[in-house]
Amino acid sequence: MADSEKKIGLLAGAGEVPAHFARQAAQRGIRIIAVSFSDEIHTTLESLVEKAYSIGIGKPGKIFKTFKDENVTDLVMLGKVDKKIIFRPSFFDLRAIKFFKSLISQEDKTLLLGVIKEIEKEGFNVLDQKELLGEVFPGRGILTERKPSVKEMEDIKFGIPIAKKLADMEIGQTIVVKNKTVVSVEAIEGTDKALERGCELSHGKCVAVKVSRTNQDYRYDVPGIGPLTMERL
């Protein structure tokens, strides 16, 4: 199928990635139907996509109906979602309530694979983010003019296996390290809050280590660092 004939449904969370994808898709002639999880995201995407809807993340019934009405079969999940939503059942429709009750736990992998299974039950196909956004995935090596110092590199090497274990345990993907000491660990609060806490506790001059899971599923929760996070650093 030519790109100009493709139609992709975009489930859009916060951050720059959904808008970047929408721009890239427009250049390739791919038609995008976007469902944003907040009015702010909706406003950003409205001028970039064929059609845009704003629907709360806790309303899967309405989301599925919207994509079916638009004859969408392929979906991609991009952007950040506030994980604290799982503690706000008042935001959920009946479908979401039943879904959460069916889970054996609410750790990231269980939750997100469960979401994908629910999506697939409705006849949709969830696309691989890496295949759609390969150009934003950096290769190995140093990406900036400034290189890590010897001490910083020691902290990075110290932190990587620890961060990997935490990511594989579905706790979080980011840690802050100083002098081979783990200063903060990302959990449900997200990367930015973990970085802020780590910098405060270490009084700056620390290293952030963010990793993927050992067997990362590139359909969901792919680790990334965006411009807003870089500004915080």
Here the CATH number for the domain that contains residue 215 is 3.40.140.80
Let me know: does 214 contact 164? Beta carbons within 8 Å. Answer: yes
How many C-beta neighbours within 10 Å does residue 103 have? 14
Percentage above 90 pLDDT, the chain? 70
pLDDT band at 3 (very low <50, low <70, confident <90, very high): low
Mean pLDDT of 139-166: 95
Residue 55 and residue 103 share a domain: yes
Is residue 232 situated within a structural domain? no
Residue 74 and residue 14 share a domain: yes
How confident is the model at residue 4, as a pLDDT?
Answer: 55
Mean pLDDT of 80-99: 88
Q: 209: part of which helix (H) or strand (E)?
A: strand 207-210
The total number of structural domains in the chain stands at: 2
How confident is the model at residue 174, as a pLDDT?
Answer: 96
Residue 10 and residue 118 share a domain: yes
Let me know: does 32 contact 49? Beta carbons within 8 Å. Answer: yes
Residue 158 and residue 124 share a domain: no
Given 107, 134, 161, which residue is the final one in a domain? 134
**Could you list the residue range(s) of the whole structural domain that residue 218 is in?**
138-223
Residue 127 and residue 75 share a domain: yes
- Helix pair 108-121, 94-102: axis angle to 10 deg: 130
How confident is the model at residue 175, as a pLDDT?
Answer: 98
Is residue 98 situated within a structural domain? yes
Let me know: does 5 contact 22? Beta carbons within 8 Å. Answer: no
